[in-house]
Amino acid sequence: MTNFKRYTLTAALPYANGPLHIGHIAGAYLPADTYARYLRLRGEDVAFICGSDEHGVAITLGSRKEGVTPRAFVDKYHQLMKKAFEDFGISFDIYSRTSNPVHYETAQEFFRTIYDKDLFIEETSDQYYDEQEGIFLADRYIIGTCPNCSNPNAYGDQCEKCGTSLSPKQLINPRSTVSGNTPVLKPTKHWYFPLDKFEGWLKEWLIEGHKDWKTNVYGQCKSWLDQGLQPRSITRDLDWGIPVPLPDANGKVLYVWFDAPIGYISATKEWKPNDWQKYWKDPETRLIHFIGKDNIVFHCIIFPAMLKAAGEYILPDNVPANEFLNLEGEKLSTSRNHAVWLHEYLQDLPGRRDELRYVLTSISPETKDADFTWKDYQQKVNSEMVSILGNFVNRVMVLTWKYFDGKVPSEHELPGTDDRRKRVLSLYTQAHADLDKAVKDMADALKNFRFREAQFQMLNLSRIGNKFLADTEPWKLAKEDMEAVGCILNYALTIVGNIALAMEPFLPDGAASICKQLNSDLKQSRKNFWEKEAMVHIVPQGHSLGKAELLYRNVEDTEIEKQTERLKKHQPVVQAAAIDNPVKPLKSEIVFDDFAKLDIRIGTVTAAEKMEKSNKLLKLRVDDGLGGRTILSGIALHYTPEEMIGKQVTFIANLAPRKMMGTESQGMILMAEDKDGKLKLVSPINEVSSGSQVS
């Protein structure tokens, strides 16, 4: 890593449609911040870049819901997030936003550069159009039944319930969220980025060239590349976003996924208007993206391909993506309000920034999903931060005040004239070796993005310090050999100072507190520490210490109870919200003839089996009074084949047959969708003969 001259670190641009929660922090911002702090301490040239991602349909949707303009909407969340980051102490060099003019210029220029190379594909295709509103419906404006999990309110680009990405045409019963009407397909022109043309290059660069990436990252990229890439549309019909900078592109904007990563570049421009290029175009700059796993493909495949297409830009050297964080055993959920919001945490637990940093780093989802629980938070704070770290610092301070009135005692070597002193010396030698190793291990872990381990080694310094005190027992020696006590405490203070230095990337507030107690900014020591990656000298003999202060306080039961209560309370709110809007808007009116076209009948299921190779389809044999027919139905997640047999079902008898998974389905079973997305059979209350018509 020494052959890079500078670093560009990016943390995923948070989407400006809601506040930040601890999952965001643990996934990207905290590891990025820790790394950025570490690099700066080493004296590296660092650009730590982030900003709000403010385009896309979810923003327009959200603003509509709140009855404000998109601009006002993103202003609100941008300010909220920016402040939360600041208050929490994430040390971005710049926190920008994609609605800035400089970003508009940069993104448009980026588009033009690739456009001028004639790389884009221009294509007209059918998209859903809301005739009543007279607008094309972006993916997010269309809801319908998710083909994957049957969630009745899946969006056109993704089902929030099962997380599957979708395209609007996959939705069953698509509806416009603007008018509630069923949209129609209408042609519109869009530009596509030819990802497929970069497949060969990506395989070379990524699969061959970056075997050093984390296995979860590398594995997912390989999976994508093996499946083959396709051109991706990079424009949308929308009035909120960056206009496509072409004459024949009225009403078209850049797709948010295209413009967002460019936001890293424009933010750098905003930060260093005259000097930004070296952070993006100099091969001696190391570009690192900190993201959560949901962003892997965009940062490892799509954005690099974009950068490559534009030319001149450097490519990410590493993308240390984290997995997800759960909360009390369940997924974090914005809509269900199952989350610890950063701004709420900072308000409820003021002065406890380090505590959250410590706990989130200690459970950092580096290799698999992790779980945050308040009980665990309390335990880690109390038994590790308070008992081991804070207590060690405190006892050294108190001892020094007690025996030496707050003046740093002897820094001379202790002459080993008797057995007792020889023992102290040997304990010192052992401690010193252990400490050096811990510092080295910590630095190595930091270099490799293993923050959990790095922080563990940091804490190890206190463990070794505690042992050193317990073994040398200065409070006993004080009765007989004050010279020895002075040497012991001098070294203990050295450990305390080195702990402060080691804490700086992880626990900046505590580090500052120790500096204050040591009455020193540790400026010179700091430089040596990160250069040598070993224990360094801290303060000279005779130096006056500040007053002893407790570094961290225990978390009381009542404090975490308040938090867990808050989580429980959130859930009813959620249900209320769901009840608020459980019923879909009415479809547009039809005439009797429309209804009469449908031939709805009751049939009896005579046989049922799971479709091979499908986890949603059941293959049903239905007695329709006409010799029976085969109907495939996507209900395998709701009914087992066994319980279907003998049931009476309602089905559309004159629907055109459709082949699925190699089998023809001759009709459609009617199901009621409960508000939780569960499907329930629609059956006559009393049994009727098979083939009875419904009218």
Binding mask 439-478 for RNA (x = CB under 7 A): -------------xx--x------x--xx-xxx---xx--
CB atoms within 10 A of CB 363: 19
If the CB atoms of residues 141 and 218 are measured against RNA, the closer one turns out to be 218
Least distance (Å) from RNA to the CB of residue 514? Answer: 11
> Among residue numbers 159 through 178, which ones bind RNA (CB under 7 A)?
163-165, 170, 172
Q: For RNA, which residue of 148, 153, 337, 410 counts as binding (CB under 7 A)? A: 148
3-state class of 590 per DSSP?
coil
Q: For RNA, which residue of 369, 531, 557, 687 counts as binding (CB under 7 A)? A: 369
Binding mask 30-59 for RNA (x = CB under 7 A): ------------------------------
Closest among 402, 400, 428, 430 to 415, alpha carbons compared? 428
3-state class of 467 per DSSP?
helix
511 binds RNA (CB under 7 A): no
> Among residue numbers 234 through 263, which ones bind RNA (CB under 7 A)?
none
121 binds RNA (CB under 7 A): no
If the CB atoms of residues 165 and 429 are measured against RNA, the closer one turns out to be 165
Least distance (Å) from RNA to the CB of residue 39? Answer: 23
> Among residue numbers 541 through 560, which ones bind RNA (CB under 7 A)?
550-554
Binding mask 626-645 for RNA (x = CB under 7 A): -----xxxxx----------
Helix count and strand count (H, E) for the chain: 24, 27
> Among residue numbers 475 through 494, which ones bind RNA (CB under 7 A)?
475-476
378 binds RNA (CB under 7 A): no
Joined tokens for residue 6: 């500078």
597 binds RNA (CB under 7 A): no
- Whole-number Å distance between alpha carbons of 165 and 153: 14
Least distance (Å) from RNA to the CB of residue 628? Answer: 15
658 binds RNA (CB under 7 A): yes
135 binds RNA (CB under 7 A): no
Tokens 């497929």, located at residue: 196
> Among residue numbers 296 through 355, which ones bind RNA (CB under 7 A)?
323-324, 331
Least distance (Å) from RNA to the CB of residue 546? Answer: 15
398 binds RNA (CB under 7 A): yes
Angle formed at CA 132 by CA 127 and CA 135, multiple of 5 degrees: 40
Least distance (Å) from RNA to the CB of residue 130? Answer: 19
- Whole-number Å distance between alpha carbons of 10 and 29: 9
- Inter-helix orientation angle 508-518/482-503, to 10°: 150
If the CB atoms of residues 58 and 631 are measured against RNA, the closer one turns out to be 631
The number of C-alpha atoms within 13 Å of 307 and in the hemisphere containing its C-beta is 23
Q: For RNA, which residue of 113, 277, 379, 430 counts as binding (CB under 7 A)? A: 379
Closest among 139, 134, 147 to 181, alpha carbons compared? 134
- Render 335-386 in DSSP notation, one character per residue: TTTBS-BHHHHHHHSTT-HHHHHHHHHHT--SSS-EEE-HHHHHHHIIIIII
> Among residue numbers 67 through 96, which ones bind RNA (CB under 7 A)?
none
Asked if residues 354 and 393 have their Cβ atoms less than 8 Å apart, the reply is no
Q: How many residues at the interface with RNA, by CB under 7 A? A: 86
CB neighbours of 539 closer than 8 A, spacing ≥ 6?
408, 493, 497, 518, 519, 520
Least distance (Å) from RNA to the CB of residue 294? Answer: 6
Strands (E), 239-331: 252-254, 285-290, 316-318, 325-327, 330-331
